[in-house]
Amino acid sequence: MKYFKPVFRGIKKPFKFLKVFLKQKAGWLDVPKILPYKGYGNETDVFIEGMVIEDKGLTKPKDNQQLWQNILATFKRFSSNEIPGVKVKAEFLHEKQIATTDEKGFFSFHFYLPDKKNELLTKEWHTVHLSLLDQIVENQPQIYTTGEVRIISGNQSRIIVSDIDDTVMISHSTQTLRKLRLMLLKNALTRLPFPGVAQFYQSLTNGKEKQENNPFFYVSSSEWNLYDLLEDFFSFNKLPKGVFLLRKLNNSIYKFWKSGGGNHDHKYKKIKALLKFYPQQKFILIGDSGQQDPSIYSKIAFEFPGRIEAIYIRRIRSKSFAEKQENLDEKLLEVQTLYTEVKDTIQAARHASKNGLINAGVPSEIKN
């Protein structure tokens, strides 16, 4: 293995390389870790992303974890050094590729597999094997891991895209102090989902006949630094397994409380890309009124007429977005999109049941 040296040519932020290089030379750099994110694909193309970071020793959360441990975990998530300029190898269905991490430690792979359609469609989730090719610290062990890729065939009729903060997870995104309290004092097992949301989402996965197995994407303005917390939260609360599409960290450890804020163009771009990548599927979009979900989702529905079956917005503000937009409901119906703002999960489930998106018996099973 080749010993890591920073390469400054063509790099916009050489300080990132220099910081890691100096920590490495001083012996302060922790053992690196490959952190893969769940990838996705169709019958020919597969996309896989992840990061190479210092392993800060984040452990699985406990429901009786002490407050200082929760605070420490939050700081670890936002203080780990990303490792730029190192090579990662990916092996997927016997194909191999090598990528170099960017200045924020991210790597990405695109496998084009036109001759492996049958193999891709043998199962919904496939395994990808990842290994680090560069030696970064002395006495470094072999660094490797596995990730997962969700394959969605052209026969799949529907895809569900959901926001996370204040849609699935109670986050108080628009109230800085309450949001900060949750980030510092709670963990994946003590953060709370909205009542009934897991049952509703499972019913959307199952569909009207309870056997559709519709895939989920979770598109959020939260940063990738929170990936482990979100994975644990979704698993613990029995939410549908899905692909997360988050955002690269724009703030430092000193501004971690700004996580999930700022410009939300990321959501628009990611959802638009999904619609283009899966042209045969219809979509359901779920969000909340705390930030820009109603305007983003409506804009997408008008740009892709006939593709967005329904938009569900959890209303957390007193004023309705629809009331501000003249005849919004009628205009969206013209592009075959049902738009509804709901106060709670049971209201959304009743609407979905009435319109044939979930099984008719589900609303009575959901407890708010």
What ranges do the domains of the chain cover?
A: 2-151, 158-365
Q: Can you name the CATH fold of 2-151?
A: Immunoglobulin-like (2.60.40)
Q: pTM of the prediction?
A: 0.86
User: For residues 231 and 61, what is the distance between their CA atoms, to the nearest angstrom?
Assistant: 11
User: For residues 91 and 93, what is the distance between their CA atoms, to the nearest angstrom?
Assistant: 7
Do 2-151 and 158-365 have matching folds?
no
Would you list the DSSP string of 161-187? EE--BTTTB---TT-HHHHHHHHHH--
Average confidence (pLDDT) per 10 residues, the chain, 368 residues: 46 57 57 94 97 78 70 67 90 97 93 97 97 88 96 96 94 68 73 94 94 95 88 95 88 47 77 97 95 92 98 83 77 96 95 95 82
CATH of 158-365 among 3.40.50.1010, 3.90.650.10, 3.50.50.60, 3.40.50.1000:
3.40.50.1000
User: For residues 135 and 130, what is the distance between their CA atoms, to the nearest angstrom?
Assistant: 15
pLDDT tens-digit map of 163-216: 999 999 988 766 667 667 677 767 778 888 999 999 999 999 999 988 899 999
